[in-house]
Amino acid sequence: MRSLLKFITCGSVDDGKSTLIGHLLYDAKLLYADQEQALLLDSKAGSRSGAIDYSLLLDGLMAEREQGITIDAAYRYFTTHARSFIVADTPGHEEYTRNMAVGASFADLAVILLDASQGVLVQTRRHARICALMGIRYFVFAVNKMDLIGFEQAPFAAIQADIFRLKETLGLEHIYVIPLSATEGDNVTEPSPRLPWYDGEPLMRYLEGVDITAHTVEAGFYLPVQRVCRPDHTFRGFQGQIEAGSIRVGEEITALPSGEKALVKKIYLTDQETAAASSGRPVTLQLDREVDVSRGCVLTREAGLAVAKSFSASLLWMDDSVLTVGKDYFVKLGTKLLPGAVNAIHYKIDVNSGEHLPTRQLKKNEIAFCEITLSEAAVLDRFHAHKTLGELVLIDRISHMTSACGVISDIKQQEDRPAGTTFYHRNLLAQADIFEEFYYNLEIRTIIKQRPDRKSYTVGDEVPLKGESYCYPASFDVIVLKDQIAVLVRDKKIENICALSGYVYTGFPLTNGRGFGILANTAAEVALFLSEYQLAKRENEAHFFNKWISFSTYRSVIFHDDFWMI
């Protein structure tokens, strides 16, 4: 059993979360005399009745004390003879849901409070859903204010039945339901004589005994690389935290995404050399040969991680700005930070009913199931298989706000049909974005690209030559350098799709795979263009583009003021 338990309290406004924790600390004699004295003084000064107001121990911000509400998560620390605890008291107001989610992402267990006189509310469902989304597996439903319903069993049983229905709906793994009164102290640390019909444990005893490590073992070994340690030319070590499994000197690891293999030469557990280390430990690994590893790579063994560019994820939107489909964000995933975009919102989830609702945008505190594409393939996995590589945040590229958090549920393997426009013929496949629209968004003063819906074209198909921001001639050749394929359009229709190696320039205008004009007008120039591309691939790409590529030949940028229509 883990000696440290991190838990949160959540629930609707005025369900008594802060009061409950205050009471736990008070009962456990965990207050220092000066804190207790301040509490008594503050309680008298406050507008609530003269009794001790335990919530004042938690609500530390001036705005919170003025308004009598919790705005942000507060962390408290206490130890009993059985265990050490860190508890995050989280806000109940819907407005501050994202602060509640912050607490949930940190915790192993959630104590969800309900008011016995009110039962299961929308906010109860919202919080349970978000806790489950963030990966919490253990739930305590604390039916508080039992004093208001005369400590009676029947109304409690009705609420308990609702809770069990909620468990089924959300697929919660472990739940425990406790009737209690936080203000009066019934069933908080000691069993209450006023609840003789309750044969379970009081809250504190349950928290001291619960084993949250059961069924949390992930397959294999993996270590997302945080940094490369190079004190001098003789030493190169990879630093990071082991997220699952264990590793011994002499064992073989695979570096992802490169796939290179190497043997572990030395392991340092912080500053001590060791023969082996396991999950949770901060280590530095030295390998027996040079491999291509930098921050964001993952060292792994038998974990079955994926290297992929697109995936589906459940997102909690946390930004005041609305989610824009197609807009670029930074995605942080493990120790990797890279550009990416939400390509599609499949549906949003009604927090109360769980119903799937179609939507085109996502507002603060909404949860949705989305498709995300990264600018390049990254090492990742489903949240339920390897937690750390299934978690992500989206960061706004302009405001730098942490706009959303999410968990990966489904990975699109690389060979899947890519998003956007594809051209195919026999075994040839090219991804080309020649029908993308370019808008200058006047609201955020940034150029934004909008991809058309996923569509494939083959020989004989007619193509849309004119869009809002592009206009191609009736006959032209598309040279898709990345996939080394040429698409020949003649009189609005695709005449042929062939490999670049077999392509012959016949004098028709040229575009690249993004619809940018290629400044080559003779067979010799085309040959030079293709050979310089091979050289420029790795470095000096910008120089190559500036020499050969012209954006404005067939394209322009359209001003647009209606931000959310894009």
Partner 1 sequence: MSAMSHLDELEAEAIYILREVAAECERPVMLYSIGKDSSVMLRLALKAFYPEKPPFPFLHIDTSWKFKEMITFRDHTAKKLGIEMLVYRNEDGIRQGINPFDHGAAYTDIMKTQALKQALSQYRFTAAFGGGRRDEEKSRAKERIFSFRNETQAWDPKNQRPEMWKLYNTKLNKGESIRVFPISNWTEKDVWQYIQREEIEIVPLYFAKERPVVCRDGNIIMRDDDRLPLLTGEKPEFKKVRFRTLGCYPLTGGYESEAVTLDDIIEETLSAVTSERTSRVIDKEAAGSMERRKREGYF
Give residues 490-549 in contact with partner 1 (rule: CB under 8 A): none
CB 73 within 8 Å of CB 64 = no
Q: Which of 13, 28, 82, 86 binds partner 1 (CB under 8 A)?
A: 86
Q: Give the one residue of 164, 176, 330, 544 binding partner 1; rule: CB under 8 A.
A: 330
Smallest distance, Å, CB 1 to partner 1? 9
Report d(CA 85, CA 56) in Å as an integer.
Answer: 20
Closest distance of CB 195 from partner 1, Å: 32
338 contacts partner 1 (rule: CB under 8 A):
no
- Locate 129 and state its tokens: 């859903």
List Cα–Cα distances, 291 to 121, 238, 274, 414, 488, in angstroms: 54, 11, 22, 23, 41
Beta carbon of residue 53, minimum distance to partner 1 (angstroms, whole number): 14
- Long-range contacts at 74-79 (CB < 8 A, ≥ 24 apart): 74/18, 76/21, 76/25, 78/24, 78/25, 78/28, 78/30, 79/30
**CB under 8 A: which stretch of 238-246, 418-426, 482-490, 541-549 binds partner 1?**
238-246
Which residue, 60 or 304, has its beta carbon nearer to partner 1? 60
Residue closer to partner 1 (CB basis): 101 or 111 = 101
Closest CB to partner 1 among residues 79, 258:
79
Nearer to partner 1, 247 or 478 (CB): 247
List all residues 6 or more positions away from 50 whose beta carbon is below 8 Å from its beta carbon.
43, 44
The type of residue at 204 is M
42 binds partner 1 (CB under 8 A): yes
- Residue range at the interface with partner 1 (CB under 8 A); choices 153-161, 331-339, 465-473, 533-541: 331-339
**Angstrom distance (rounded) from CA 341 to CA 375:** 8
Indicate the residue among 160 and 403 with the shorter CB distance to partner 1.
403
Q: Which 124-153 positions form the footprint of partner 1 (CB under 8 A)? A: 134
Nearer residue to partner 1 within complex by CB, 401 or 524? 401
User: Least distance to partner 1 from the beta carbon of 176, Å?
Assistant: 24
**Contacts with partner 1: how many residues (CB under 8 A)?**
71
Cis bond upstream, residue 257 (ω within 30)? yes
- Do residues 515 and 436 touch, judged by C-beta distance below 8 A? yes
Q: What is the Cα–Cα distance from 211 to 222, expressed in whole angstroms?
A: 24
Q: How far is the CB of 119 from partner 1 (least distance, A)?
A: 29
CA distance 311 to 357: 20
In the complex, the smallest distance separating the C-beta of residue 514 from partner 1, rounded to whole angstroms, is 27
Range in contact with partner 1 (rule: CB under 8 A) among 10-18, 31-39, 250-258, 534-542: 31-39
226 is a site residue for partner 1 (CB under 8 A):
yes
Q: If 0-12 CB within 10 Å is exposed, 13-18 middle and 19+ buried, where does residue 23 land?
A: buried
- Give the range of 234-242, 431-439, 487-495, 552-560 binding partner 1 by CB under 8 A: 234-242
- Could you say which residues in the range 251-290 bind partner 1, by CB under 8 A? 268, 270-271, 276-278, 280-282, 284
Environment class of residue 320 by beta-carbon count within 10 Å: exposed (0-12), middle (13-18) or buried (19+)? exposed
**Buried b / exposed e along 503-531 (16+ C-beta atoms within 10 A):** bebeeebbbbbbbbbbebeeeeebeebbe
**Contact status: 98 vs partner 1 (CB under 8 A):** yes
> Could you give the CA distance from residue 52 to residue 44 in angstroms, rounded to a whole number?
8
Cβ contacts of 330 within 8 Å, gap of 6 or more: 337, 338, 339, 340, 394, 395, 396, 397
The 3-state DSSP class for residue 62 equals helix
Nearer to partner 1, 378 or 510 (CB): 378
Q: Token pair for residue 355?
A: 């119903």
Stretch that binds partner 1, among 305-313, 328-336, 457-465, 480-488 (CB under 8 A): 328-336
Task: Give, in degrees to the nearest 5, the angle at Cα 82 between 77 and 84.
Answer: 20
Binding flag, residue 240, partner 1 (CB under 8 A): yes
Residue 227 binds to partner 1 (criterion: CB under 8 A)? yes
Nearer to partner 1, 402 or 496 (CB): 402
CB crowding 274-286: b at 16 or more within 10 Å, else e = eeebebebebbbb
Binding region for partner 1 (CB under 8 A) out of 35-43, 162-170, 204-212, 552-560: 35-43
Subset of residues 379 to 418 that bind partner 1, contact rule: CB under 8 A: 388, 391-393, 395, 399-402, 405
Helices and strands of the chain, counted as H and E runs: 9, 35
Residue 37 or 506: which CB sits closer to partner 1? 37
Among 34, 290, 415, 491, binds partner 1 (CB under 8 A): 34
Q: Between 105 and 553, name the residue whose CB sits nearer to partner 1.
A: 105
Q: Which stretch binds partner 1 (CB under 8 A): 333-341, 353-361, 373-381, 436-444?
A: 333-341
Among positions 46-85, residues that touch partner 1 (CB under 8 A) are 57-63, 65, 71-77, 79, 84
User: Which CB, 231 or 502, lies closer to partner 1?
Assistant: 231
Among 174, 194, 295, 301, contact with partner 1 (rule: CB under 8 A): 295
- Beta bridge partners, 112, equal 10, 141
Closest approach of partner 1 to the CB of residue 487, in Å: 39
Instruction: Tell me the backbone φ, ψ of residue 276, rounded to 5 degrees.
Output: -160, 155
CB of 100 to partner 1, least distance (A): 10
Long-range contacts of 170-175 (CB under 8 A, 24+ apart): 170/128, 170/129, 170/132, 170/354, 171/132, 172/128, 172/132, 172/139, 173/137, 173/138, 173/215, 174/137, 174/138, 174/139, 175/139, 175/140, 175/141
Provide, rounded to whole angstroms, the least separation between the CB of residue 285 and partner 1.
13
Residue type, 48: R
